[in-house]
Amino acid sequence: MSDSQPLPHDVRQLLAIRLGLEEALHRTRTAGPYRRGAAIVALDAVVERAVALAASARGIAISLKVDDMISRLRNDQSLKWAPTVLPDIRSLRKARNAAQHDGLEPDRDALPGWANAAEVFVVGLLEAQFAMDVRTVALADAISDDEIRRLFVLADQAYEAENLGACIDHLVDAYEAALTRWRRLRPSRPGFVRHDALDKSAHESIAHLQSALDAAAFVGDVGEAEWFSALRRDRGSDVFDDEDVSRARAFVFAWVTGYESATVTWVQDRRRRAAIKARRERTTEGPSFIASADVTEMYSTQLATTFVVANVPPPDQYDDWARGLERMLPTVEDISWSVYQDGTVRVSRPLATAGAAGQDVEALAAALMAVEHLVESQLEASRREAELQRRSADVRTADAAKIRNDWPNWITDVRGGQDNLHGADWEIELAPAAWGLRLLEGDGPAAQTSDIASAIRGADGVAQCWYTGSANILAIQPALPADELVEILRATDQLVSKAMASQDTARDARAQIIANARSAVAAELARVHTSA
């Protein structure tokens, strides 16, 4: 078996093959006399795609014929792949060619054998190459973002539990998490209307339009984007069926993977990119130095000297270096210094003081020497801080594992350390029964409602507690010790348990009312039928 682990792109290809294989097998099982040709074309397409993926992963030219690629894969000793169904695959490919090019109907009795051979061939080849059964590849495996992938896993778990509403909630959460990241990535767009001049219905129309535009960003079907926008508005209603879940899962997966692909090539600031490309970055140890200078007249009253600085730090250090250099340059009346993103430094002074322009060279050279020591000390401090944070995160993560049996039953997980995406020191995952739960604090007319985040936020030692944008995740700051955190959660337990009990009582009461109504309707219906 190959030691090669699938890259994110490969995982998406594996997922496509899995879905294609399932579709082809379904076509084969249900094909009538006029569909058998299409069924074996679909089977052979999956075989070809699997061969091409494995060949590409092993550096074999995919421009070769399929049979040649199969032969090279078989002869690759490191792959350790010995297909046992090659005669059936050759027969399938021959029948596919006849059906596709000559219009010959494939043998009905041969279809089951070809389907089985195709499945065995594809699964065996890809497992040999990627150490993964392609039939078990999930949508979540093809998603790079940890938080979005987790939401897809939760959606799958909810679907397995036959909780379609929760499944839709998680899928919409995954879409909204990706949408939030996409909005942060792209530049803000100017408004095209005066919002203060619009009535409520106009605002709603614009909101619906924006929702549809967002949904259409990474899908080619605008109608499907409209459908998904309507589904989001129905969120929270018990109106979804299996078809809705399947369609929503496909839509959100396509949108998220489209977004993640876009981020790879997205250019946030082309001017900054050009400036970075123009820098003369560090190729040797030691300080940056002045490579050249150009003196020009500016605004008829000013003299501007632009210095090209060479051996500047790499991109991850440049901004700190530039800020430090500006602080090191002398502050003199009527003389101004600017450090630019392209690695140049400009100084301007009145034309009347042009005779002293040579002093600017000396000042910049001294500042370049001084800033080198400053940046190095800052980097060392940053390294120490990062190490301290890592150690602290390791301790919190270990402490979190120790208290897993101590938190209240309305919490399903507590995460600490640097593995969360929301800038929080702790993340609390709520059980479904606690999602959106309203708490009642106090008694009588003075009683007030709040939520779990507000209740935790009011505890001593808690600086911030907020929902992360997902109904089931709370973020907490600061990095409280685990035992203090669990005490705060326990202190909140009475309010939460009371609200959950009240919620259960109200639900049971509604269920009893409905049951009584059903009984009354059934009794009256029986009486009417009897009297008739």
What percent of the chain lies above the pLDDT cut of 90? 24
Mean pLDDT (whole number) for 387-413 = 78
pLDDT of residue 236 exceeding 90, the answer is no
Q: Which residue has the higher pLDDT, 180 or 102?
A: 180
- Residue 105: the pLDDT is 78
What is the per-residue pLDDT across 458-489, written as a single tens digit (0 to 9) for each?
888 888 888 876 557 888 888 888 888 888 88
Q: Above 80 in pLDDT, residue 262? A: yes
Q: Given pLDDT bands bounded at 50, 70 and 90, which one contains residue 11?
A: confident
With cut-offs at 50, 70 and 90, classify the pLDDT of residue 8: low
Amino acid occupying residue 517: A
pLDDT number for residue 446: 54
Of the pLDDT bands very low, low, confident and very high (cuts 50, 70, 90), residue 199 is low
Please compute the mean of the pLDDT values over residues 200-218 and round it to a whole number. Answer: 75
- Name the nearest CA neighbour of 499 among 446, 441, 412: 441
Both tokens of 353, joined, read 């003081």
CA distance 111 to 29: 8
Gap between the Cα atoms of 170 and 473, Å rounded? 12
Q: Is pLDDT larger for residue 214 or for residue 314?
A: 314
Q: Which residues pair with 466 in a beta bridge?
A: 475
DSSP class of 104:
P
Separation between Cα atoms, residue 42 and residue 39, nearest integer Å: 5
Confidence (pLDDT) at 189:
54
Compute the average pLDDT of residues 443-447: 58
For residues 308 and 291, the answer to whether their CB atoms sit within 8 Å is yes
pTM tops 0.85, yes or no: no
pLDDT surpasses 70 at 75: yes
Pairing state of beta strands 344-350 and 302-312?
antiparallel
Task: Specify which of 26-30, 415-419, 496-500 reaches the highest per-range mean pLDDT.
Answer: 496-500
pLDDT at 125: 94
* Separation between Cα atoms, residue 130 and residue 55, nearest integer Å: 12
What CA–CA distance (Å, rounded) separates 111 from 427? 53
pLDDT at residue 420 greater than cutoff 50: no
Q: How confident is the model at residue 515 (pLDDT cuts 50, 70, 90)?
A: confident
Q: pLDDT band for 419, please (50, 70, 90 cuts).
A: very low
Select from 157, 139, 87, 149 the least CA-distant residue to 118: 87
Q: For residue 124, what pLDDT is reported? A: 93
Contact between 208 and 229 under an 8 Å Cβ cutoff? The reply is yes
Comparing 219 with 410, which gets the higher pLDDT?
410
Q: What is the dihedral of CA 383, 385, 388, 392, to 10 degrees?
A: -130
Residue with tokens 């490969």: 10
Task: Return the minimum-mean-pLDDT range out of 3-7, 47-51, 95-99.
Answer: 3-7
Q: Does residue 5 register a pLDDT over 70?
A: no
> Per-residue confidence at 510, pLDDT binned at 50, 70, 90?
confident
First to last CA, the chain: 76
State the pLDDT at residue 305.
Answer: 94
Mean pLDDT of all residues belonging to the chain: 84
pLDDT band, very low/low/confident/very high, at 399 (cuts 50, 70, 90)? confident
Distance (Å, whole) CA 44 – CA 60 = 20
Grouping H, G, I as helix, E, B as strand and the rest as coil, residue 62 is coil
The pLDDT tens digits for 275-287 are: 999 999 988 877 8
- Residue 1 pLDDT > 70: no
Residue type, 56: S
Residue 143 DSSP class: -
Contacts of residue 62, defined as CB under 8 A and 6 or more positions apart, other chains included, come to 52, 55, 56, 69
Please tell me the distance from the alpha carbon of residue 438 to that of residue 436, in angstroms, as a whole number.
6
Rounded distance between C-alpha atoms, residue 265 and residue 228, angstroms: 26
* CA pair distance 488, 486, nearest whole angstrom: 5
Partnered with residue 339 across adjacent β-strands are: 345
- Whether the per-residue pLDDT at 300 is higher than 50: the answer is yes
Q: Compute the distance between CA of residue 259 and CA of residue 96 in angstroms, rounded to an integer.
A: 36
Contacts of 408 (CB under 8 A, 6+ apart): 489, 490, 492, 493, 496, 497
